């Protein structure tokens, strides 16, 4: 761990105005794969939050004025991150417990996200002609934005927010999840010789740091639970400041009777259990046509038995799928009871490891009104609901959730699949695949899943304020 951190030239402390700034507010991070201490970290103080705001506001004007410079900086940062992929991925594995290959994929995705938005620093407006005037629109940066991220994909979520925020000309202050600040700090350290001081700052800490930050920024982008998202929305309402909220999901998939059942079972298993189910898009509810219900269960059980708990730097044999632990004791105590419901179920082989591991669990023939069906569990637990007989019935049941983040349909009939996709009330719909999130498409849900979009042109626009200008002819 110390060798990796030394390679990156970092300090375990808040990153403010282009340098690491130790404090006396120490926190011990826990390794979720062992339950043992990982390292000590200096958290930000409230005074440091105030200082970071001042530094960001001071740097913002000159940063916004030069889109070509922003382009070059983001591209350089992507290259720097790419050169340190293995070290940063190792940090991600240490702090989250996820398999190293999964962490490497996460780092590579952030590299590509930075590159994508480095090419979008010139943001066009619109132009209009009227007999009496010329009118046009300008998209300008909000100013200083607060980016609050979750523990499940720490670096990826920071990258999704940072890349468009900086491309649009904002200065950004990131408040990573208290369990997983290391890779966001590592990214900031890599940016030291690339970005001007104050453009990117990172403030590790808890809810007090987040609250102080959100009281002063011009816009907040948050990823986390619906409960916290609601609290942020209420606070933002008091100041009438805009925000993006990427919250929870209770995601449904529909398997039509003409689907490739074996492929559907594999894809759904991956969608439910990857990252130990700690994914806002994770499959929660499965609706299968009555004619193929038993066949699907046979294949899904086979796929479930292939999941194996590992420590971050272990590998698994062929035809097995690795998964890591839950993030901490709190999540473990929340998730484990969800594996003990009295429905017919099966689980992958129990883990003998010491970390916060919960075995992938499948419940079958579950009634729609079962209490856990309406919840976002945020762990490796999935329910196969009672079978359906008509597509209309399946769509109605899938749409019965208060959430609206993601869904999927499996069918060999693409025309029918597109019709189903059009009627599913979610922000993302996959057809014959799952959990693919390209950075050129907008991502975000509706209802209790949040407000606004990340990624794509829509995600870039979220970090801009639209101004109209009119000129007399």
pLDDT in tens, the chain (473 residues): 666 666 655 678 999 999 999 888 889 999 999 999 999 999 999 999 999 999 999 999 999 999 999 999 999 999 999 999 999 999 999 999 999 999 999 999 999 999 999 999 999 999 999 889 999 999 999 999 999 999 999 999 999 999 999 999 999 999 999 999 999 999 999 999 999 999 999 999 999 999 999 999 999 999 999 999 999 998 888 889 999 999 999 999 999 999 999 999 999 999 999 999 999 999 999 999 999 999 999 999 999 999 999 999 999 989 999 999 999 999 999 999 999 888 778 888 777 889 999 999 999 999 999 988 999 999 999 999 999 999 999 999 999 999 999 999 999 999 999 999 999 999 999 999 999 999 999 999 999 999 999 999 999 999 999 999 999 98
Could you tell me if 314 and 167 lie in one domain?
no
Q: What length does the chain have?
A: 473
Could you tell me if 390 and 296 lie in one domain?
yes
Number of domains in the chain: 2
Within a domain: residue 444?
Answer: no
What is the structure's pLDDT at 188? 96
Domain residue limits at 334: 251-439
> First and final CA of the chain: distance in angstroms?
65
If you write DSSP's letter for every residue of 374-433 in order, what string do you get?
GS---SSEEEEEPPBSSHHHHHHHHTTSSEESEEEEE-S-HHHHHHHHHH--SSEEEES-
- Nearest CA to 290 among 344, 265, 254, 266? 254
Could you tell me if 97 and 223 lie in one domain?
yes
Within a domain: residue 140?
Answer: yes
In the beta sheet, which residues pair with residue 395?
none
Element (H, E) at 334: helix 329-335
Could you tell me if 256 and 243 lie in one domain?
no
Distance CA 273, CA 267 (A): 10
Residue 466 near residue 305, CB atoms below 8 Å: no
Show the tokens assigned to 88: 């940063």
CB-CB neighbours of 367 under 10 Å: 10
What is the structure's pLDDT at 390? 98
Distance CA 27, CA 392 (A): 52
Dihedral over Cα of 107, 109, 115, 118: its sign: negative
Q: Which residue has the tokens 């208290």?
A: 178
Within a domain: residue 335?
Answer: yes
CB-based burial, 7-34: b 16+ in 10 Å, e otherwise? ebebbbbbbbbbebbebebebebbbbbb
Could you tell me if 319 and 232 lie in one domain?
no
What is the structure's pLDDT at 24? 84
Dihedral over Cα of 86, 89, 95, 96: its sign: negative
Distance CA 150, CA 224 (A): 5
Domain holding 415: CATH number?
Answer: 3.40.309.10
Could you tell me if 100 and 138 lie in one domain?
yes
Could you tell me if 33 and 78 lie in one domain?
yes
**What contacts 284, CB < 8 A, 6 or more positions away?**
249, 250, 251, 252, 272, 373, 376, 377, 381, 382, 383
Dihedral over Cα of 91, 325, 368, 431: its sign: positive
Could you tell me if 424 and 279 lie in one domain?
yes
Residue 19 near residue 191, CB atoms below 8 Å: no
3-class secondary-structure state, position 299: helix
Within a domain: residue 58?
Answer: yes
Within a domain: residue 429?
Answer: yes
Could you tell me if 77 and 153 lie in one domain?
yes
Residue 144 near residue 171, CB atoms below 8 Å: yes
Distance CA 200, CA 17 (A): 8
Q: Is 70 left (phi over 0), alpha (psi -120 to 50) or beta?
A: alpha
- Nearest CA to 185 among 259, 84, 319? 84
Q: How many CA atoms lie within 13 A of 111 on its CB side?
A: 16
Within a domain: residue 278?
Answer: yes
Residue 141 near residue 460, CB atoms below 8 Å: no
Residue 319 near residue 295, CB atoms below 8 Å: no
Could you tell me if 55 and 120 lie in one domain?
yes
CB-based burial, 415-425: b 16+ in 10 Å, e otherwise? eebeebbeebb
Element (H, E) at 136: strand 133-141
Within a domain: residue 197?
Answer: yes
Could you tell me if 358 and 464 lie in one domain?
no
Could you tell me if 220 and 296 lie in one domain?
no
Within a domain: residue 314?
Answer: yes
Domain holding 197: CATH number?
Answer: 3.40.605.10
Q: Which residues are catalytic?
A: 246
Residue 451 near residue 462, CB atoms below 8 Å: no
pTM of the full structure: 0.95
What is the structure's pLDDT at 341? 86
């Amino acid at each position: 761990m110390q060798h990796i951190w030394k390679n990156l030239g970092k300090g375990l402390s808040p990153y403010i105005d282009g340098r690491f700034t130790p404090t006396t507010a120490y926190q011990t991070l826990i390794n979720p794969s062992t339950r043992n201490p990982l390292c000590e970290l200096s958290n930000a103080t409230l005074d440091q939050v105030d200082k970071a705001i001042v530094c960001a506001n001071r740097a913002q004007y000159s940063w916004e004025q030069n889109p070509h410079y922003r382009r070059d900086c983001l591209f350089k940062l992507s290259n720097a991150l790419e050169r340190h992929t293995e070290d940063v991925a190792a940090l991600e594995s240490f702090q989250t417990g996820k398999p190293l290959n999964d962490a490497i994929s996460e780092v590579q995705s952030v590299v590509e996200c930075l590159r994508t938005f480095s090419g979008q620093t010139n943001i066009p407006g619109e132009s209009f002609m009227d007999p009496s005037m010329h009118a046009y629109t300008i998209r300008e940066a909000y100013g200083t934005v607060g980016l609050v991220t979750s523990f499940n994909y720490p670096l990826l979520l920071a990258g999704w927010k940072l890349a468009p925020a900086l491309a649009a000309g904002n200065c950004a202050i990131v408040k990573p999840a208290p369990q997983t600040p290391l890779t966001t700090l590592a990214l900031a350290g890599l940016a030291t010789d690339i970005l001007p001081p104050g453009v990117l700052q990172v403030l590790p800490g808890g809810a007090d740091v987040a609250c102080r930050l959100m009281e002063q920024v011009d816009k907040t982008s948050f990823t986390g639970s619906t409960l916290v998202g609601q609290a942020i929305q209420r606070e933002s309402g008091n100041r009438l400041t805009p925000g993006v909220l990427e919250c929870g999901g209770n995601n449904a998939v529909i398997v039509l009777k003409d689907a490739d059942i074996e492929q559907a079972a594999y894809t759904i298993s991956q969608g439910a259990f990857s990252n130990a189910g700690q994914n806002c898009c994770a499959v929660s509810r499965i609706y299968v046509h009555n004619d193929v219900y038993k066949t699907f269960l046979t294949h899904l059980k086979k796929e479930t038995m292939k999941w194996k708990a590992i420590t971050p730097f272990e590998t698994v044999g062929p035809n097995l799928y690795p998964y890591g632990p839950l993030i901490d004791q709190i999540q473990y105590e929340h998730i484990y009871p969800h594996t003990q419901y009295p429905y017919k179920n099966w689980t992958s082989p129990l883990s003998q490891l010491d970390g916060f591991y919960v075995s992938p669990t499948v419940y079958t023939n579950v009634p729609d009104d079962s209490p856990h069906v309406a919840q976002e569990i945020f762990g490796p637990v999935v329910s196969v609901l009672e079978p359906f007989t008509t597509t209309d019935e399946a769509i109605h049941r899938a749409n019965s959730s208060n959430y609206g983040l993601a869904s999927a349909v499996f069918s060999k009939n693409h025309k029918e699949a597109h019709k189903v996709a059009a009627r599913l009330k979610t922000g993302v719909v996959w057809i014959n695949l799952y959990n693919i999130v390209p950075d050129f498409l907008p991502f975000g849900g509706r209802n209790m899943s949040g407000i606004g979009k990340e990624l794509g042109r829509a995600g870039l626009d979220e970090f801009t304020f639209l101004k109209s200008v009119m000129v007399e002819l």
